[in-house]
Structure 1
Amino acid sequence: MYTQTTPQNTLEDIKVNVQLKLAALWASLMFLIIYLDYFALYMPGTLENILKGKVFVFDLTQGFLVAAFAVVTIPAMMIFLSVTLPAKVNRWANIIIAAINIPLILFNLAGEAWVHMVIGAVVEVVLLCLIIRYAWKWPRILV
């Protein structure tokens, strides 16, 4: 007679490598950045200021838009780069770029910060800290 030694409802715990974890964290961060910017459009006066050519205290110029595009392009590219860069470069790129993004995220709270913006910034900073932690503790090969 056959006796089962493991329960049938035991879930398999698949180990996800650090590169996929980092890419998923960057993707989550990008979703939050996009949605927080989108929700900001619903704040009173935002669209009127945009139509007047202002964002916060900045004039809406080609230079401003290029800078804003660069700020979001780098984390967006980290989704891909986290999966494709060699381990040593990957590790340091994730640590450095995540650390640089923390003050950028917090800068978005300057001026009038609504509760959704504060909560979003907290979650974004937590994601960036997780990126730094996973990259810092990158698994080593024992030789």
Structure 2
Amino acid sequence: MTTKDRRTILSTLWIFVTLNYLYCDVLSLMSPEMLNSLITTGGAGGITMDEPTLLGAAILLEISILLVLLSRVLTYKTNRWANIIGGSIKTLVMAGTLFMGASLHYIFFAIIEIATTSFIVWYAWTWTESEDTKIREANDVQTAT
């Protein structure tokens, strides 16, 4: 049995969860209620979609986008903590949004997103340096041959 490189798996999980975030947002924009609220009030769910709010949302989404790359290139210790912190932030934010009167499709996506980011936190938490070293050495040998 070969051990999978956690860097690759973490990066792939961040791609998966980011696509879920994006497709949830796209579907939300197809809701007549959401569109009407955005057009008439400039907001939705009691949140005004002004520049500071949109910047905050962009920064929040950038965490998952950035971790796609960082999961592959950071050193073990920094990588592990970046995934634990990023996954924790994203899990807490998504859990918090469930109390804002979410639609069924949003709840569906949120459950998947919370499960994924919770798994990322656990997966990074259980990652050991010796495991990382073994994978790196095996990759170096494989590259040399």
Q: Which residue is 2:27 aligned to? A: 39
Count, aligned residues: 131
Report if the CA contact (8 A) 2:45-2:101 is conserved: no
Q: Matched residues in 1 for 2:102 and 2:71: separation?
A: 31
1:3-42 per-residue CA deviation (whole Å, 9 max, x = no partner) reads xxxxxxxxxx654200000000000000000011111112
TM-score under structure 1 length normalisation: 0.83
Q: Which residue is 2:37 aligned to? A: 49
Q: Structure 1: where are the runs of 5+ without partners?
A: 1-12
* Cα distance change of structure 1 residues 102 and 34 upon mapping to structure 2, 3 Å threshold: same
Which shows bigger deviation, 129-138 or 27-36?
A: 129-138
Structure number with greater Rg is 1
TM-score under structure 2 length normalisation: 0.82
- 1:106 shift after superposition: 1.8
Which shows bigger deviation, 105-114 or 84-93?
A: 105-114
Q: Which residue is 1:6 aligned to? A: none
Q: Matched residues in 2 for 1:141 and 1:97: separation?
A: 23
- 1:95 shift after superposition: 0.6
Q: Which residue is 1:91 aligned to? A: 80
Report if the CA contact (8 A) 2:84-2:121 is conserved: yes
